[in-house]
Structure 1
Amino acid sequence: MEFSRKFHAIEALISAIFLLGFLGSSVAERRAVSHATSTISFPALNCRKHNAVLTDFGGVGDGKTSNTQAFKAAIANLSQLAADGGAQLIVPPGKWLTGSFNLTSHFTLFVHKDAVILGAQDESEWPLLPILPSYGRGRDAPGGRFSSLIFGTNLTDAVITGNNGTIDGQGAYWWKKFKENKLTETRPYLIEIMYSNQVQISNLTLVNSPSWNVHPVYSSDVIIQHLTILAPVDSPNTDGIDPDSCTNTRIEDSFVVSGDDCIAVKSGWDQYGTKFNMPTKHLVIRRFTCISPDSATIALGSEMSGGIQDVRAEDIAAINTQSGVRIKTAVGRGAYVKDIYVRRMKMTTMKYVFWMTGSYGSHPDPGFDPSALPIIKGINYKDIVADNVTYSARLEGIEKDPFTDICISNVNIKLTTKPKELQWNCTDVQGVSNRVIPDPCNLLPEKEIDCPFPEDRLPIEDVKLKTCSVSLSSDNSYLLYS
């Protein structure tokens, strides 16, 4: 009771100060200066004028107490500072159990290196959301979907970062329900940002997500960098990073171990994606490493019915992974995957180096259009080295709808001690090759060509991050004025 009274008194005081118009002073600035032991510097889209710590709003970092209301109270209060330089919420050292909470604009969530945000096991802590309009149903079940652990919609200038703090979804609870077919709604993701622009997700360790880890959707100007994403390789649908109907996105300097695709580029499912009509385009992926024995390093699709165009991937490493860049589509998807550029990939212990699939036939419902044929064209791979490979390529287009303008150059594939006899399995594809070992199939005849890679830069590549900083007290419990 005493703690509760103190918490409400603090909350009332903060609210009163906001209402009186003292927006020039942050929570941190209203404290007495103590003995600082550390100043943390970090890169961000924008630095914030105001700062607070989760414990200011009743947060308890014991790994047992729910902090859902503390996160919600903190963000609700700090959102009032958006027009006055924005605000920053520090998650200090400790284990912070919480259900889903929503971010606000002109806001930074900073997770300290010794902090762990833990996803609650109580389903009542995860609100339900409507289905995504470009999907027409939930991915796990026809009904709605649980809100992500960290969620935001219609945001501008939102940063989720840290100095390698951890977000743990405690996904085993959800994986068990999925495998036992007990879900009536789609599992939550760790981070989902919708209908937003100027988004940064960086310098974090994400572990054991219930399903996908990072899902920017219907958003633009997104930077994702310096993430370590870990999940058991047999965990279901634990995709690493899934840009979905997004424009101008940069993914770089990250490492993923996953039970599904390390990166999955998407844009909607069958007739729902066609109607929503929002492609993923202008995406750069670089300096990225993947381990996923049963899935792809980078998947394009299978939900690509809004279109995927202008993807540039370079300096990619894959280790013990099923395939490199895999295109997944089917009759009924419609739209296109085109202008795809990949260079400087290094792969070790792979089932496939190249894989394109025109028969990835899962559908949201029987209402898809069987005459909606996807266009797959302008697929370019160059400067690739692979070792211990079972199959060089499996390229399967669609009958009467071949995949065209495929270019593969300067590729050296070394096979496993027991490789498959048919190294290049090609049907309904058209293209060219040059300096490729082992020799490609006859549908990719030799031509003196160096496959293209764009020389221009995407606008997101030239976005520079600022250097921001925050100081903590000697016990890391609150911020210091500086």
Structure 2
Amino acid sequence: MVGSRRTFFKVSGLAAAGMLVHGTAKADPWDEVDAILARIKPPAFPDEDFDVTAYGGKADGKTDNTAAFRKAVEAANAAGGGRVVAKGGTFLTGGITLLSNVNLFVDKGAKLLFSPDQKKYLPVVETRWQGIECLNHQAFVYANKATNIAITGGGTLDGQGQTWKPWGSGGSDWSQLQKWGADGTPVAQRKLGDGHKLRPNLIQFVSCENILISGITIERPPMWSVHPVKSRNITVEGVTINSRGGGGNNDGVDPECCTDVHIKDSTFNTGDDCIAIKSGRDVDGRRVNMPSQNIVIENNKFVFSNRGAICIGSEASGGARNIYARNCAVNQANTSDQLWYAVFIKTSKYRGGVVENVHFRDITANKLTKSPVFITLNYSGSGNSGPVVNPVVRNMTFERLIVAGSKEYAVEIDGLSASKVTNVIVSNSKFTAISKGGNKLTNSQNITFPGTTVNGKPA
């Protein structure tokens, strides 16, 4: 075991719940949660409906409803707001752009079936692709600089993402975008879209405020499922994400450079990370220099992921701070090889940025493929798009984690010799059936385990 560690045998309330800085316990970091949640207020909308069928829409699964949705959204916006309603069947459509004060309401039993025709998501729009700004296909539901927007109802958004899978990871287009980001090419000149192969997200809201995504089911996205960018006051609640079978890299909810976010009461069955908090990639991410902060994740169920349940990174160049997660169940079905990590914090020596003040409590997990808590500054998927700028990862607490089963370690920390992971407390937690036993700590300092056991022994 490499790195330094101190174990407390007597646990005081402040030492277990707060961070120890220069030997002095700070106040409980969870005291900040109520203030964060008090600021997050879902938008309200006028009590007026704009049924898509009144604008030429047909729920027959065959008719192209792109124009009908556009007309309904524009009418609702012009009237001062309301619900654009899809009900009673399957609506085939291209891209939908929401405007301020519009709630896209997909009724229970209704489905938005997104066209596989890539030209339905043009012209190009301002977007971000894996943490680098560019002009590319719009997300299937998109908004830019809108206020008070929502997607609600009990219906389904089906991205038919498998039709986009041949585009893969972007190939030469992705290489070109990374080069543009590293070279500081003006964003207006980073034009992709038609003839290029960077898959769009299913839902992406850019520079928006007052967002609600509630009650819907998402299936088969072409890439990430829900991706708010540079936005504020966001509520994601009661959402079911079944992203497996989509286009690949099918994350669940990825807030990027966002402030005041509440993700709750949702279920994740994803082809990649379930929740991934991001803030830009390498040189371009540091140029934007906007953190993701004040995020509360609670009461969620994580069914499947071949990566992590709750993640930070790897695109974290703008930093991430004040991240809280509680009362979540990882692999509740207790079936082997359903998820890799419960907590996955990942970055690299090219990212830069500060990840700090991260707090998890009351998380249960079963039969994980990898270490339940994995913090790495050597993430192999990060690539190299710019000079070495070491990240800083510090000040984290993990309380009352109950983990039954891991094929690796309990807690694994993999820092850099030039930038150690510092000040991590894992308190009052219980890890059982940990195959490799104990923890693996490399290039880390002030990592403590008060009241925590691994396979029945003090950590």
Task: Work out whether the TM-score is over 0.5.
Answer: yes
SS of residue paired to 1:343: strand
For 2:91, the equivalent position in structure 1 comes to: 96
Residue 433 of structure 1 is matched in structure 2 by 449
Q: 1:118 is matched with which residue: 110, 113, 116?
A: 113
1:383 is aligned to: 400
Counterpart residue type for residue 405 of structure 2: N
Aligned-partner Cα distance in 2 for 1:180–1:358:
25
Structure 1 CA distance, aligned partners of 2:266 and 2:237? 6
Cα deviation digits, residues 221-263 of structure 1 (max 9, x gap): 1111000000227962110000100001100000000110000
Secondary structure at the residue paired with 1:88? Answer: strand
1:477 matched residue in structure 2: none
1:339 equivalent in structure 2: 357
Look up the match of 1:149: 140
Specify the alignment match of 2:36 in structure 1.
none
**Cα distance in 1 between the residues matched to 2:305 and 2:66:** 36
SS at match of 2:301: strand
- Match for residue 72 of structure 1? 70
Amino acid at match of 1:354: V
Q: Which runs of 5 or more residues in structure 1 are unaligned? A: 1-42, 139-143, 447-482
The share of aligned pairs that are identical, in percent, is 28
Contact 2:318–2:353 (Cα < 8 Å) also in 1: yes
Q: Deviations along 1:144-164, whole A, 9 cap, x unmatched?
A: 4321111001111111101x1
1:63–1:118 Cα contact (<8 Å) kept: yes
Task: Give the Å deviation of 1:44.
Answer: 6.1
2: CA distance, partners of 1:135 / 1:328: 14
Distance 1:365 1:428, change over 3 A: closer
State the shift of 1:131 in Å.
4.9
Q: Is the counterpart of residue 277 in structure 1 residue 268 in structure 2?
A: no
How far does residue 394 in structure 1 lie from its aligned partner after superposition? 2.0
In 2, the alpha carbon distance for the partners of 1:95 and 1:266 equals 33
Match of 2:132 among 131, 136, 143: 136
Shift of 1:166: 0.5
* Aligned-partner Cα distance in 1 for 2:281–2:156: 32
Note if contact 1:134-1:275 (Cα within 8 Å) is conserved in structure 2: no
Q: Output one character per residue of 1:155-200: Cα deviation in whole Å (capped at 9) or x when no partner.
A: 11111101x1110001111123317969733212111111011110
Q: Is the CA contact (8 Å cut-off) linking 1:279 and 1:308 kept in structure 2?
A: yes
Q: Distance in 2 between matches of 1:179 and 1:374?
A: 25
The residue matched to 2:69 in structure 1 has which SS? helix
Give the counterpart letter for 2:448 in structure 1: V
Aligned to 2:377: 358
Counterpart among 262, 271, 276 of residue 264 in structure 1: 276
Equivalent residue number for residue 158 of structure 2: 168
The 3-state SS of whatever aligns with 2:75 is: helix
TM-score between both structures, scaled by the size of structure 1: 0.76
Give the C-alpha shift of residue 130 in structure 1.
4.3
| 1:317 corresponds to 2:333 | no
For the 8 Å contact 1:134–1:272, the answer to whether it is kept is: no
Post-superposition Cα deviations, 1:12-66, rounded to whole Å, max 9, x if no partner, equal xxxxxxxxxxxxxxxxxxxxxxxxxxxxxxx963131432100000001111111
User: Larger C-alpha radius of gyration, 1 or 2?
Assistant: 1
Deviations 1:311-367 (A, max 9, x none): 01000111131001111011021111100000000001112211011112555764x
1:45 is matched with: 43
Task: Please provide the CA RMSD for this pair.
Answer: 2.3
1:107 aligns with 2:123: no
Residues 83-134 of structure 1 show CA distances to partners (whole Å, capped at 9, x for unaligned) of xxx2211111110011111001111111110100001011111113345399
Whether contact under 8 Å (2:214, 2:237) holds in the other structure is yes
Q: How far apart in 2 are the matches of 1:304 and 1:410?
A: 29
CA deviation map 1:393-443 (0-9, x unaligned): 221011121000010011111116xx23x54221011221112221799xx
Q: Does 1:208 align with 2:217?
A: no
Separation in 2, partners of 1:440, 1:218: 45
Q: 2:345 aligns with which of 327, 337, 358?
A: 327
Distance in 1 (alpha carbons) for counterparts of 2:128 and 2:89: 34
Unaligned runs of 5+ in 2: 1-40, 174-195, 332-337
Q: Which shifted more, 128-137 or 46-55?
A: 128-137
Tell me if the contact between 2:251 and 2:272 (Cα under 8 Å) persists in the aligned partners. Answer: yes
Partner of 1:472: none
Once the two structures are superposed, residues 372-396 of structure 1 have per-residue CA deviations (whole angstroms, 9 ceiling, x without a partner) of: 1111000110101111221222210
**Does the 8 A contact of 2:268 with 2:302 survive in 1?**
yes
> Which residue is 1:231 aligned to?
243
Task: State the 1:75 CA deviation.
Answer: 1.1
Match of 1:281, as an amino acid? Q
Structure 1: distance between partners of 2:329 and 2:104: 30
Aligned to 1:307: 319
Asked whether the equivalents of residues 130 and 315 of structure 2 are also in contact (C-alpha less than 8 Å), the reply is no
> Contact 2:399 / 2:427 at 8 angstroms: preserved in 1?
yes
* Whole-angstrom distance in 2 between the partners of 1:404 and 1:52: 53
Amino acid at match of 2:397: N
Paired residue total: 387
